[in-house]
Structure 1
């Protein structure tokens, strides 16, 4: 049997990543990027479909009768209608634990940049403020150690745990937040509201689901009495955007760094774009996952998932 395989957004892996072709009889077609209205045309006749961020909704699935398997070249699967796939008996696999180093490292790059005002000092030096100060040092922006501070982590999966490990290496106390509204998760978890109140840094590492959408909003920012840093290297939609803008502009948080928004890329009038020039705000273009090593791991896992499906032993199933 020859499997027709179509990769709809191959360019999301980057040019330096080599994707090994599956060791099965197959025809291979790869498109750099695909828009939502091109999905049916390009995927028609495919038995195996690879997607990263391109949406795969029920309306498209209804028009793809040959589709037998979907491999998501990412961990997040909110771009795929999993319920519609289940109804049609189409298994869906994702990639897992590939970002266990790259995302925590990116999170801490953002934390350190904000905690030590690196961008503010860089701008001050470029503007000549150091020379005008007349002394050996410039102390015009806040500098805080991580050692002795408290890191609150929302999301207790592999990425949250790895981020906690880095926090402890810096001498931080680490709190894992219980799910919002839950009081039955045991002693390893700290109540959600207590994490908001005690943390100096809050880092998000949870998936985007109906339960986590707008997880941080006006009420949550109002509880943050320690003026924490807010770090989101997870998914757009976890934070109510205008609420974060108001919290930052109102001084209720000390800074924020965001690596994922909705939509991506954000339009010029996106609320976060109003903050882009502030030294206490960092917006990176969804690159926390994207070390070369991690992207190669994604490619390798996708190939392994396809081979597993073809052999009748699917892996990493999410639907």
Structure 2
């Protein structure tokens, strides 16, 4: 009988259906790195959202057959080692194709219409002191007629593009940075930066994409442009972002992710009190509906593995 161990079950708020085949189930709300080996000693299937499973750990788990990642990202698991050891790895796909795009547009609308700045004015009594019925202390800009640049055009990027079109925005899809040719339907990376009123990032984090946006890229953007990042914090050089915001080089930024999570005290973005910067705590993916879809797919992946036909397989 298979033994399934969920290492960080508190990371998902959902009704997790148990697999259909006979099994023993053990879950822990959270697991520290020094607890992993002891908890997986006799496990054949492990579920992890963010707990890391590196080579030095996997090599000490001869009975492990499957890793079910309760997320799309796989950077917390040594995929190469799993392939060497014939450990099946499955992830979750397309569960957040509604909730992340909605979060993107929440950030974009709030920044484009200066929501935080107007809220601060209200708190300071500016409207109450105004000589007319409305307050014109900050510009309000429409999304309609503006240009959105998409960097990354997978399922979520495509969904963001559809919403943008519904708002009446022009959508540019960026070609890979440094590409020597541009595919049909795509726009040169640098031209996308120059021509967009807002940029939205939808890429995985890997050696090719780390610090994709830095000082040089901010220098290419329009002075009023917005940068939205609901993907991975490491895609953007945080020190360059801070400088671009403080100097007014760009119009604003809405981030749901940071390079280190949870963030450590001293990260200057945590204390950045500007009306054109919004930081949310990695929640774009986490609507209750999306988490339930994730949980259902997680169990489906494990059931498919037990039938000998793994789905959403990455190793």
Q: What TM-score bracket applies, with the shorter chain setting the length?
A: over 0.9
1:314 paired with 2:275, answer no
Q: Work out the CA distance in 2 between the residues paired with 1:271 and 1:195.
A: 28
* TM-score after normalising by structure 2: 0.98
Match of 2:214 among 214, 217, 227: 217
The answer to whether the Cα contact below 8 Å between 2:197 and 2:224 also exists between their aligned partners in 1 is yes
Match of 1:202 among 177, 199, 202: 199
The answer to whether the Cα contact below 8 Å between 1:200 and 1:226 also exists between their aligned partners in 2 is no
Match of 2:245 among 243, 248, 255: 248
The answer to whether the Cα contact below 8 Å between 2:223 and 2:248 also exists between their aligned partners in 1 is no
Per mean C-alpha deviation after superposition, the further-off stretch among 101-110 and 61-70 is: 61-70
The answer to whether the Cα contact below 8 Å between 1:183 and 1:191 also exists between their aligned partners in 2 is no
Match of 2:300 among 291, 298, 304: 304
1:218-244 Cα distance to aligned partner (Å, 9 max, x none): 111111134310000001200000000
1:296-318 Cα distance to aligned partner (Å, 9 max, x none): 01100010000011100000011
- 2:289 alignment counterpart: 293
Q: Work out the CA distance in 2 between the residues paired with 1:5 and 1:251.
A: 51
Per mean C-alpha deviation after superposition, the further-off stretch among 36-45 and 205-214 is: 36-45
- 1:9 alignment counterpart: 8
SS in 2 for 1:190: coil
Q: How many residues align?
A: 315
1:76-91 alignment to 2 at 5 Å? 76-91=73-88
1:284 paired with 2:280, answer yes
Q: Work out the CA distance in 2 between the residues paired with 1:78 and 1:142.
A: 41
1:173-212 alignment to 2 at 5 Å? 173-212=170-209
Q: Work out the CA distance in 1 between the residues paired with 2:19 and 2:86.
A: 22
1:68 paired with 2:65, answer yes
Q: Work out the CA distance in 2 between the residues paired with 1:221 and 1:288.
A: 24
Q: Work out the CA distance in 2 between the residues paired with 1:262 and 1:53.
A: 14
1:146 paired with 2:143, answer yes
1:57-113 Cα distance to aligned partner (Å, 9 max, x none): 111112211111001111111111111111111111001010000000000000001
SS in 2 for 1:271: coil
Per mean C-alpha deviation after superposition, the further-off stretch among 184-193 and 232-241 is: 184-193
Superposed CA RMSD: 1.0
Q: Work out the CA distance in 1 between the residues paired with 2:38 and 2:126.
A: 57
Shift of 1:183: 3.3
Shift of 1:185: 4.3
- 1:235 alignment counterpart: 232
Structure 2 residue runs of 5 or longer lacking an equivalent are none
- 2:255 alignment counterpart: 258
* TM-score after normalising by structure 1: 0.97
